[in-house]
Amino acid sequence: MWQWKLARFAASRSRWFSTAIPGPCMVHKRGTDILQDPWFNKDTGFPLSERDRLGLRGLLPPRVISFEHQYDRFMNSYRSLEKNTQGQPDRFVSLTKWRILNRLHDRNETLYYRVLIDNIKEIAPIIYTPTVGLVCQNYSGLYRRPRGMYFSAKDKGEMMSMIYNWPSPQVDMIVLTDGSRVLGLGDLGVQGIGIPIGKLDMYVAAAGINPRRILPVMLDVGTNNQSLLENRLYLGVRQPRLEGEEYLSIMDEFMEAVHARWPKAIVQFEDFQMKWAFETLKRYRNRFCMFNDDVQGAAGVAFAGLLGAVRAQGRPLSDFVKQKIVVVGAGSAGLGVLTKAVRAVSKMSGCSETAAKSQFFLIDKNGLVTTERSYLDPAAVPFAKNPRDLEGLTEGASITEVVKKVKPHVLLGLSGVGGVFNEEVLKAMRESVSTKPAIFAMSNPTANAECTATEAFSHAGENIVFASGSPFENVDLGNGKVGHVNQANNMYMFPGIGLGTLLSGARHITDGMLQAAAECLTSYMTDEDIQEGILYPSIDCIRDVTAQVGAAVVRAAVAEEHAEGRGDVGFKELAHMSKEDTVKYVRGNMWYPEYCPLVHEKSANSEEGKEMSPFVAAVNSLCNGI
Ligand SMILES: NC(=O)c1ccc[n+]([C@@H]2O[C@H](COP(=O)([O-])OP(=O)(O)OC[C@H]3O[C@@H](n4cnc5c(N)ncnc54)[C@H](O)[C@@H]3O)[C@@H](O)[C@H]2O)c1
Ligand SMILES: O=C(O)C[C@H](O)C(=O)O
Ligand SMILES: [Mg+2]
């Protein structure tokens, strides 16, 4: 029985439903309303039958252009834009590309997502990090059309009704920000909406989440960014950020409103300043289906990289317990990574978490974190070193001092500060006890990376393994040798976490599900790749990575008995699936952009003379509307 269901779902790679409930592909709009709806619009691609039935005749040039032809046409203009902007500053070129993509997104979602999926390596840096950072910094000026929802401090008491203003009846995936820590760019207030939009584009591209079922959300509780408050164009609420109970009551109201309308929607918290990242995670994780990408997604991707760094040295994974790791940045991401790594060491070696911490060193803006600090954020306290155990290092020691003394296997940056891995620090990594020292400059966007790829290979040596949060080109080391650049970005985690959770039907995202996602990413790489310094897959494979990660999450949810299933595929069916079947099931539920008929099959006969009156067609469409 379940095999049959699996086959049916695998076959349902339909345009309309991926995470999908089969249904009629109909539209309840007509004429210009269709052309102005990016979800239904096919531009010149509407076949004559649809032009007839949907009141489009005369509203479009007469020739029908195929989807492939439209795609080529767009890519040609994208390429000529590239040619025409040659030699211009990078920032200008990237924003120009973002604009042309954004216009396509506003006009024709099907074509937009096909362009994105088929050119993911080239286009991700425009719609995601690093360009998305630039877009957020300039959002008020760039703004043309709304996308997503905005809930502001002024909407208190209204959110339960506001949530019903969203036109799509079903939402599966929400990415939420308050714009308080956008990448490494600080507080950008309402302009942070660019981040949920970019993350959800990755959900569609990588996880095949149906774009009709995504919702980017900005919770605008004010901003403490003075220059934004003084900017005439600023589109957000002009007030300092709400704090304390006021902040939490807005957040509670939003979460309850979402849950009331879409009880199984997953909410990904993104780019919150640390105090709210941790507080909201604690507050909601057992009440709602949510996770924090900067804490938990970053932890997963870094964990996979740390294990990759062990393998790169030709050592067994069990050697992870002996690795000395310096983490620079004691924020939501750095502490998330440390928490996960310490837990893993404790589990692998059977020692207590306190003992497992001995090999980790934490540095923040005031230097090495020790118990001698007069004030320490409670979240960092567990990782503070006792100066007695430091053999010469003292409270506040610099990164160079720590690296020189510890000679770590791994130097990992999540500080948000560009260039903190300076020449001196990188040269100190030459003394690492590892045969393949690992340098992870994970901060975003590019200018905030702790070092560039070229700096890392030229100062720390050619035998390092290198990863960065934003993309860099591979480095030419001369004599045909290449310094491989990995992208250690949570994009390898969150799409699979979201899709797997959705298909499992779990009501919460557990540590076990997150651990399964991270382990899956770790095992994705072959020993040959790792030997060449390739710790993460190419972004070109992100859909496949996501299918595997998603399946691992489903299986973990089943193993923990949290899975409830989705649609026809319940817990029992999921539990009977082999690993391969689960991957197939996940893959089969990924949406893929293709034009879908907008009128009933019967109406296709219109070209053969069996035309239904436009009125009947409209009534039919209305009755069957999604
Ligand atoms: N690659 C990824 O997948 C990924 C995931 C999450 C976050 N990030 C990036 O990590 C960075 C930090 O994010 P966060 O949420 O932890 O931010 P955060 O603001 O919570 O933490 C930043 C931390 O860096 C420390 N710091 C600041 N200046 C420093 C300096 N000069 N030297 C050492 N430490 C310094 C601060 O004291 C703080 O502990 C951002 O740039 C973000 O884009 C990357
Ligand atoms: O957005 C990214 O590219 C990764 C991460 O979530 C970040 O905040 O930097
Ligand atoms: Mg983030």
Identify the active-site residue in 128, 139, 284, 585: 128
Predicted confidence band of residue 41 (pLDDT cuts 50, 70, 90): very high
Please say if the pLDDT value at position 75 is more than 70: yes
| Ion ligand 3: residues, Cβ under 5 Å | 270-271, 294
Which ligand approaches the C-alpha of residue 333 most closely?
Answer: 1
Greater pLDDT, 606 or 283: 283
pLDDT in tens, 455-511: 999 999 999 999 999 999 999 999 999 999 999 999 999 999 999 999 999 999 999
| CA of residue 105 to ligand 2 center, whole Å | 22
Q: What angle separates helix 109-118 from helix 194-207, to the nearest 10 degrees?
A: 70
How far, in Å, CA of 114 to CA of 591, rounded? 11
Q: Was 294 annotated as part of a binding site?
A: yes
Half-sphere exposure of 550 (CA within 13 A, CB side): 32
pTM: 0.93
pLDDT over 80 (residue 4) = no
Overall average pLDDT of the 273-294 stretch: 98
**Which amino acid residue places its CA nearest to atom 6 of ligand 2?**
294
List of residues 6+ apart from 369 with CB closer than 8 A:
330, 362, 363, 376, 380, 383, 384, 385
Is residue 358 within 8 A of residue 389, CB to CB? The reply is yes
Q: Is 271 annotated as a binding residue?
A: yes
Ligand 1 is surrounded, with C-beta below 6 A, by 181, 183-184, 274, 294, 298, 301, 328-334, 363-365, 414-417, 420, 442-444, 448, 469, 488-490
- Taking CA atoms only, the protein residue closest to ligand 1 atom 18 is 331
* Three-class secondary structure of residue 58 per DSSP: coil
Q: Please provide residue 402's backbone torsions phi and psi, each rounded to the nearest 5 degrees.
A: -65, -45
Nearest bound ligand to the CA of residue 176 = 3
DSSP structure string for 304-358: HHHHHHHHHTT--GGGGGG--EEEE--SHHHHHHHHHHHHHHHHHH---HHHHGG
> Which among 175, 291, 293 is the best mutation to test ligand 2's pocket, defined by most ligand atoms within 8 Å of the CB?
293
Write b or e for each residue in 65-82: b if 16 or more Cβ atoms lie within 10 A of its Cβ, otherwise e.
bebeebbeebeeebeeee
pLDDT of residue 612: 40
Tell me: is residue 201 an annotated ligand-binding position: no
Our mutation pick for probing the ligand 1 site, out of 136, 339, 415, 442, counting the most ligand atoms within 8 A of Cβ, is 415
Mean pLDDT of 87-107: 97
- Six token digits for residue 562: 């949290």
The residue-averaged pLDDT of 560-588 equals 98
Q: How far is the CA of 264 from the centre of ligand 1 (A)?
A: 31
Q: Which two tokens stand for residue 306?
A: 């740390």
CB 323 within 8 A of CB 286: no
Active site residue 164: no
Amino acid of residue 359:
Q
Single-letter amino acid, residue 478: G
Higher pLDDT, 611 or 267: 267
Buried b (16+ CB within 10 A) or exposed e, 467-478: bbbbbbeebeee
Identify whether 128 is a catalytic site residue. Answer: yes
540 is in an annotated binding site: no
Counting residues of the chain whose pLDDT is more than 90, the rounded percentage is 89
DSSP per-residue codes, 118-137: HTHHHHHHHHSTTHHHHHHH
DSSP string, 24-50: -------THHHHT-TTT--GGG--HHH
Ligand 2 centre and the CA of 617: distance in Å?
Answer: 46
- Average pLDDT in the 148-153 region? 96
Neighbours of 540 (CB within 10 A): 13
